Structure 1
Amino acid sequence: MAESYRIAVIPGDGIGKEVVSIGIDCLKTIQELLGSIMFELVYFPWGSEFFLKHGKMMPDDGLKTLAEFQAIYLGAVGDPRVPDHVTLHGLLIPIKMGFDLYAGLRPAYLFTGVESPLVHASEQGIDIVVIRENSEGEYCPIGGRHGRMEHHLAVQTALFTKTGCERIITYAFEYARAKKRKKVTSITKSNAQIYGMVFWDEVFKEVASRFPEILTESKLVDASCHDVVRKPEAFDVIVASNLFADILSDLTAAIVGGLGVAPGGSFNPR
């Protein structure tokens, strides 16, 4: 009997619909070739169009509905008619945090025949995996806006817990070990963010001591962006906070041909 998987399909907005369509074709091909696996696909029209009609990116019971599935295939969110923070915090972030999908994984590999914007990249090769902390950090909805007119102010608080930092950093090392990769690079801005990022550095050092066979380094995010462009071959596995890994994973995707050839996934390894 074929093994069956229920997948919630959310094409979302813009290019997401086109990309998801091609991905579904791939799933159907896998199903035909293997014969021992089946995908039950259920589509949901959630996203910006849904928001414009109903005032929300998904129904109030959206997470409860998605909990019935084994995977969620989401295309993209974003529409010029809807503020970006509304689309992000209305769909993608609630899914990640609601299901504790704390690990974000995006490989960036330069395939043969794909042209990189970097000179000599094909000679050196690019093979980077960015691992992102998805559940806390800079994207926690903690803060607010206060006052009026010239006295108006906004406060945005980043949250870093020992549990959150330790589990994503541990996963980065476990991934490196399982995939026989040689180095894990932690990227922060601990020279400026003296509490949360210094705390992250301390946890990284503590976890790294349990994986003596793997090389480690800690770098600042601005220098890392410089080096990803200048010498991408120096990176192997990168682990970083929600914000920094979000930015870095788009940068690493750009140097291997764009987001179309650098898919990402969010999951709970435990």
Structure 2
Amino acid sequence: MATHHHIALIPGDGIGREVTPAACAVLDAVGARHGIRFSYDEFDWSCARYRELGAMMPADGLDRLRHHDAIFLGAVGDPGVPDHISLWGLLIPIRRGFRQYVNLRPIKVFEGVPSPVRGAEPGVVDFVVVRENVEGEYSEIGGRLNRGFPEEMAVQEAVFTRAGVTRVLEYAFTLAGSRRGRVTSATKSNGIVHTLPFWDELVAETAVGHPAVGWEQEHIDALCAKIVLEPARFDVIVGSNLFGDILSDLAAAVAGGIGLAPAANLNPEREFPSMFEPVHGSAPDIAGRGIANPLGAIWTAALMLEHLGHVEAASTVEGALVEVLAGTGIRTPDLGGTASTEEFTKALLEFVR
């Protein structure tokens, strides 16, 4: 009897509406091969909904998502809606309401997708950015004062808690223990005098419980340079909300393009559903043209499969990605080709089946 999973779909805006069907087609195909069945509830939560109704999602949105096994999000964002409204109206409430405190972003250089970085070779560059996802620099604490006057000011408080930092560090060290056994901590404790020395102390404390895992810390500015100059040296990079956000997009560019990059927002304890989303955003400049690269969304679907306990099915999807990129010339325009979203997806489905 097939395992059944109930997935909440939020295609969102722009190319999110084009790559989400591609991911679902791959999920259904790999499910048929591995005895997994998916049912989908689709929600229209988006910037289009905000323009029409004044809210990105309804007031009971989290309750509507709560009973699903996982959430798949396409993309959010529109030039007509400020980014802080789209983000704080949908993504951040889901991440925080469901305690998705790990943002996981794998980075690989694939055969057939040349990196813009000299020496970044397939099979050599393979690391993961673990980003703290619910506190840090992206806290809600702060405000604006004296708006419109010469002495106008804005205050934004960064919040680092022992519980919040330790749990994401435990995840990163445990993950490294199942990989190549090396953690790199992103910091800036030479300039940020309270929060990041605290972060460094907690990294050292956490490392004691993982004696088989080596670790190092790098200041964020030097780390950005080293990811470009020596991307093969890294295994698991762990950073605060802001640092992890910046590093994961930089790393995706090193791997050949942001259209390839997947992401998972994880509640490791599985008390709540986790959410899976490609990194690329809504790309309004190409939306509606049928040329969006579905690779990031499809790899994101593989992350979701792995989280749901289907490791072999996830490997099938990742293997199909490798086969299409290494063994065919089929590429979407962002990778230098002419294939449409549909053509790339069809080619990949042949390998999945």
**Shorter-chain TM-score range:** over 0.9
Offset of 1:214 from its aligned partner?
1.1
Superposition pairs of residues 1-270 of structure 1, within 5 angstroms = 1-34=1-34, 36-122=35-121, 125-148=124-147, 149-178=149-178, 180-270=179-269
CA, structure 1 residues 268+15, in 2 after alignment: closer, same or farther (shift >3 Å)? Answer: same
Matched-pair identity in %: 49
CA contact (8 A) 1:128 1:252 kept: no
CA–CA distance in structure 2, aligned partners of residues 185 and 18 of structure 1: 36
Deviations 1:170-190 (A, max 9, x none): 100111112x32210000111
CA contact (8 A) 2:227 2:251 kept: yes
Query: RMSD value over aligned CA atoms?
Result: 1.2
CA–CA distance in structure 1, aligned partners of residues 217 and 207 of structure 2: 11
Instruction: Specify the SS of the correspondent of 2:139.
Output: strand
CA contact (8 A) 2:108 2:123 kept: no
Q: Which has the higher strand share?
A: 1
CA contact (8 A) 2:186 2:219 kept: yes
CA–CA distance in structure 2, aligned partners of residues 259 and 71 of structure 1: 23
Deviations 1:159-206 (A, max 9, x none): 11000010000100111112x322100001111111111100000000
CA–CA distance in structure 2, aligned partners of residues 23 and 231 of structure 1: 32
Deviations 1:186-236 (A, max 9, x none): 001111111111100000000011111111001111111111111111211
Offset of 1:260 from its aligned partner?
2.4
CA–CA distance in structure 2, aligned partners of residues 214 and 234 of structure 1: 15
Offset of 1:123 from its aligned partner?
6.8
CA–CA distance in structure 1, aligned partners of residues 242 and 231 of structure 2: 20
CA–CA distance in structure 2, aligned partners of residues 17 and 259 of structure 1: 17
CA, structure 1 residues 17+200, in 2 after alignment: closer, same or farther (shift >3 Å)? Answer: same
Deviations 1:212-270 (A, max 9, x none): 11110011111111111111112110000111101100111111122322201011112
CA–CA distance in structure 2, aligned partners of residues 15 and 221 of structure 1: 31
CA contact (8 A) 1:124 1:233 kept: no
CA–CA distance in structure 1, aligned partners of residues 197 and 223 of structure 2: 17
Question: Structure 1 stretches of 5 or more lacking a match?
Answer: none
CA contact (8 A) 1:185 1:237 kept: yes
CA–CA distance in structure 1, aligned partners of residues 93 and 187 of structure 2: 24
CA contact (8 A) 1:11 1:74 kept: yes
Instruction: Specify the SS of the correspondent of 2:138.
Output: strand
Instruction: Specify the SS of the correspondent of 2:256.
Output: coil
Offset of 1:124 from its aligned partner?
7.9
CA contact (8 A) 1:187 1:238 kept: yes
Q: Which moved more, 1:72-81 or 1:113-122?
A: 113-122
CA–CA distance in structure 2, aligned partners of residues 254 and 86 of structure 1: 26
Offset of 1:125 from its aligned partner?
2.4
Instruction: Specify the SS of the correspondent of 2:134.
Output: coil
CA–CA distance in structure 2, aligned partners of residues 127 and 48 of structure 1: 34
CA–CA distance in structure 1, aligned partners of residues 227 and 140 of structure 2: 30
Deviations 1:94-151 (A, max 9, x none): 1100000111111000111111111121278211100011111111111100113211
Q: Which moved more, 1:255-264 or 1:128-137?
A: 255-264
Deviations 1:35-82 (A, max 9, x none): x21111110011100100011111111011110211000011111100
Aligned-partner residue type, residue 77 of structure 1: V
Instruction: Specify the SS of the correspondent of 1:228.
Output: helix
CA–CA distance in structure 2, aligned partners of residues 19 and 184 of structure 1: 33
